Copies of this chain bind each other. A is one copy, B any other.
């Protein structure tokens, strides 16, 4: 294909949006506006509504000339043949499952853009050099079965199949991923592995889930990688005490110490251009007139650089110990934490090293963005590091990968009001389509 040919690759915005919204009849969530499409989504992985969305995906891609394959994690691979029939396909991929209070774009847009790509290819009767495909990954959100990106993780052979199959639904049920895969008819026979189901490349269109594109009036994020992160559970143990009778000097107030740690963690992270966040905080015993003896909180630290995450962790371990010992205070104003030392312990829950995407894929996205946006100066797009994890992280371990970000309103996601304007969805889908076709040309020896 020539640059002129790429210019002809236009997605059909209304067809794309209609397809996306029609399938959101399965798992419709909370309403936030009066229009029919102004609801969130609650399509938990392997639920009845996820099965309906999967059935649609299989039927639609088969009608578009694809062969569909389902692996033992329920990942669905829809492949359209190329001139060279035996080589691995170039994939567009994302996920159809959502958070319980999710929106209509996170994951869903990426799969629908892949399907739109297949329609455009069929419509223009493009013969690709190699097969192209669309993959729907299972339980990316980790909301129902508590491990994010678990099925691409099994495909990458980073997560053992048995661990994944045995994941139990959150909330007291006994359903497992395996039992639910069986129940809805998506326990495939193909091994979930990059060896059995190789990918030549993986491109993923996704909403940014952050405010940067919108704030800069840019349309496309050319994603160069995913930042490193580590998750910890931190236990602070002091002593329950009566709020009325216990002077500050006699307290071992676990909540006060946790508060100082949370403030300090964000201070240190900011100074390193990293992120630190606490999303879960539990307190014991929890009575108005009792000083807390025990607080447990999550700490999520992130940076594009692994070494920054390591340095931040090391600093915080040292500083948290100093704060807990109640020795010379790091903060003059926090003097009330006087004489009674507390204990602090760390548990490492998740380690996710930084991912660097492949230069060839990044370049394909850059060229496509420039072409679609008619923006040779590159002012309407930017390179960006993904703050969140995606299936592309595991894909990147075994094939060239990149992602395409589009802006979402106020940077909001994992929320019913999550929103990406139709024209932005369409621009993103067109960049995805071109990127896959450009990579196909590259594989064939083109530039």
Residues of A whose CB lies within 8 Å of any CB of B are 101, 208-212, 215, 227, 229, 231, 239-248, 250, 253, 255-256, 258-260, 262-264, 266-267, 269-270, 275, 277-281, 283, 285-292, 298, 300, 302, 331, 333-337, 349, 386-389, 410-415
Contact = CB atoms under 8 A, between A and B. Distances in A.
B280 A387 contact: no
A300 B300 CA distance: 30
Contact of A290 (B256, B279, B291): B279
Nearest to A389: B244
A336 B211 contact: no
Given A240-B415, A242-B414, A270-B335, A275 B248 contact: yes
Counting every copy of the chain, the complex holds: 2
A243 B411 CA distance: 12
A288 B231 contact: yes
A333 B331 contact: yes
B411 A333 contact: no
Given A256-B262, A256-B263, A263-B263, A243 B277 contact: yes
Nearest to A211: B250
Contact of A331 (B245, B331, B349): B331
A106 to B, nearest CB: 10
Contacts of A287: 279-280
Given A241-B412, A262-B256, A211 B246 contact: yes
A290 B411 CA distance: 13
Given A210-B250, A388-B242, A414-B240, A266 B256 contact: yes
A283 B281 CA distance: 7
A292 to B, nearest CB: 7
A266 B292 contact: no
Contacts of A278: 255-256, 292
Contacts of A387: 242-246
A274 B248 CA distance: 9
A302 B267 CA distance: 31
A228 B423 CA distance: 61
19 contacts: A209-B244, A209-B245, A241-B411, A241-B412, A242-B411, A243-B300, A243-B387, A244-B389, A245-B413, A248-B275, A256-B278, A266-B337, A267-B335, A270-B335, A277-B291, A279-B286, A279-B291, A288-B298, A288-B349
Contact of A208 (B101, B245, B283, B331): B245
A158 to B, nearest CB: 19
Contacts of A263: 256, 259-260, 263, 331, 333-334
